[in-house]
Amino acid sequence: MSEADPRAEPDHALPLHDLIQARMQERGWSYSDLERTSGRALTRGRWQQLGSGAELRKFPDPGSLTVISEVLEVDITTVVLAAAQTLGLDVRRQGADLSNLLPDRTERLSDRMRDAILALVRAAVAETLDDDGLEPARSDALRGLRLEWPKSAAPSEAPAQTDDQPGAGARPGGH
């Protein structure tokens, strides 16, 4: 993301050229690498035009958007919003953009793991202050949701005993 771009504020979509540049930098790629990775669906010159921040006159066609999404390994929605931002549309994100903070391959999480993460996020949100910031959200905001963790992952409830505590070393069964 370019530091000088005023549109690159946290509540705005990332412009397409910043998205392309960021992915190129992460991978150490050139525009020729992007052309090759796209199977020459987009030429080096087109990648350079899109990645340089040059003014776009029209919205990229659906095929180009799909290729950009696949080559950069980002979802199509991110690419569409980035292209819209580049064209000058005031594209603002709704609420916190937690999804952009998630690591690659989160789509591979099992349904059970995804549900556990959602439950944790919902519980955290339920504990935040209400919209007025006056009082904590009511506990019924969880609507019967319970967080359950495997016993093996749960912290021990009993404090560890030291040798100077009474009963230290005593074990069930007299061992």
**Cβ–Cβ < 8 Å for 81, 19:** no
Report residue 30 as tokens. 């050139």
Structure tokens belonging to residue 117: 């993460």
Q: What is the pLDDT of residue 171?
A: 44
What pLDDT is stored for residue 127 in this prediction?
74
Its pTM stands at: 0.52
Q: Report pLDDT for 168.
A: 45
pLDDT value of residue 51: 95
pLDDT value of residue 150: 60
Q: What is the pLDDT along the chain (175 residues), one digit of tens a residue?
A: 343 343 344 456 789 999 999 999 989 999 999 999 999 999 999 999 999 988 888 899 999 999 999 999 988 988 999 999 899 888 776 655 566 656 677 888 898 998 888 888 877 777 775 555 555 555 554 555 555 656 665 555 555 555 554 544 444 444 4
Contact 98, 38 (CB under 8 A): no
Token readout for 11 is 């509540």
Domains belonging to the chain, first-starting first, are 16-86 (1.10.260.40), 109-149 (no CATH)
| Burial class for 77, CB neighbours closer than 10 Å (0-12, 13-18, 19+) | exposed
